[in-house]
Amino acid sequence: MSTTAFIADTIYTPDAIENGVVLVEDDRILKAGSRQSIELPAGTREVRLEGQSIAPGYIDIHNHGAGGADVMEATAESFDTIRRTLARFGTTSFYPTTGTATTADIRRAVEFLADAVEHASSPDVGCHPLGIHMEGPYLNPKRRGVHPIDLLVDPTLEAYRHFAEAARGKLSIMTIAPELTHAPELIEEMLRAGVRPSMGHTDATFEEADRAVTLGVRQATHMFNAMRPFGHRDPGVIGKVLTDPRVKAELIADGVHVDPKAIELLYRAKGADGIILISDGISAVGMPDGEYNVVGLRVQVKDGACSFEGHLAGSIVTLDRAVRNMTKFVGASPAEAIRMATLNTAILMGIAGRKGQLTEGADADLVVLDSGLNVQQVYTRGLPVV
């Protein structure tokens, strides 16, 4: 048993505590608080981080790839590349996200990811997969984005159970257009099984979105994008998300997918507690401009935008940059912005206490930041990511 005290100018629990210390024993946090309130056990190793701060490890519930690798490749080598790349940018946990493909390809990817989640116990690889997010094939063709229209299908319980069986209990989130025929039946089935349905790629009216929330839907996939546009006489699904405090909004805060003024509107409507920062990252994350594979599509990446045939196709934003952007775009405090990438997500996914905060008993997933919230060092379960 080894004990280490990480001492920093500020720790974000995610509330800001000045002159803070995070006391770690092996892979768990023993205590976190002000230096004055915590007595260090004899023999404790001290890591002094002058001029720096410590945040909980970031959690990404929507990521398709990184480092030139795509989740749908479903190989150990590509998956390790994704995990190592994400960890470099402060993301210590994620929900790998599939895309719309053939039933056989989706099932193959889901089976692989179920194994990856079950056996990802070694912290030295980097970012840890916690569950599977399926984005497609139950999307509205009108709001499909780059999801292939010929592979989108109407949801049925039989087909859904086929995927759920392949996931072996590791399916955590499914993006679904709630207005589709039989979608309510699937939503009820998911909720009974502990899977979180998320409204996305949807042309839902306000009334259709309201019905989904009444059933138990509590989140919306990449807010504003691939959704029925907001209108003052037709508020649609966006109006429902903006006005219902029960619904959390995923947000790609890159300034490309959503204009900063629209982000400000979301921030004012939902508050810091109602936003979940995501990457929607593709294989180009952490890579130079160029052409990249995304679920079989050749996506062009240039000047921070990913496009296919004139449509946005995921992003290259990382959660550390999304956190910084929220402080610039809407004036969120560092504690608020960090909360959007940590505790909010952990609460949504039911893993608070283990992930997303610096608290007794939580995994020792730490991100060391400089004064500009740039990542300096990352620890997963107490071990440094290199």
* 27 among known catalytic residues: no
Residue of 60, 203, 210, 280 with catalytic role: 280
CA 351-48-381 angle, 5° bins: 25
Segments making up each domain of the chain, as ranges: 3-55+370-384, 58-352
Predicted local distance difference test score (pLDDT) of residue 1: 66
Query: Where do we find the tokens 């952990």?
Result: 346
Let me know if the fold of 3-55+370-384 is the same as that of 58-352. no
Predicted local distance difference test score (pLDDT) of residue 297: 86
Predicted local distance difference test score (pLDDT) of residue 9: 98
Q: What is the CATH number of domain 3-55+370-384?
A: 2.30.40.10
Query: Where do we find the tokens 């979301």?
Result: 266
Supply 372's token pair. 């500009």
Query: Where do we find the tokens 């910084």?
Result: 324
Alpha-helical (H) ranges within the chain are 76-88, 103-119, 157-167, 183-193, 206-215, 236-243, 260-270, 319-329, 334-340, 343-349
Rounded average pLDDT per 10-residue block, the chain, 386 residues: 93 97 96 95 95 98 97 96 97 98 97 94 79 98 96 96 98 98 97 98 98 98 98 98 98 98 98 98 96 88 92 95 98 98 98 97 97 97 88
Is the four-CA dihedral 24, 28, 133, 283 of positive or negative sign? positive
Predicted local distance difference test score (pLDDT) of residue 108: 98
Nearest to 20 by CA among 36, 4, 40: 36
Predicted local distance difference test score (pLDDT) of residue 169: 97
Assigned superfamily of 58-352: Metal-dependent hydrolases (3.20.20.140)
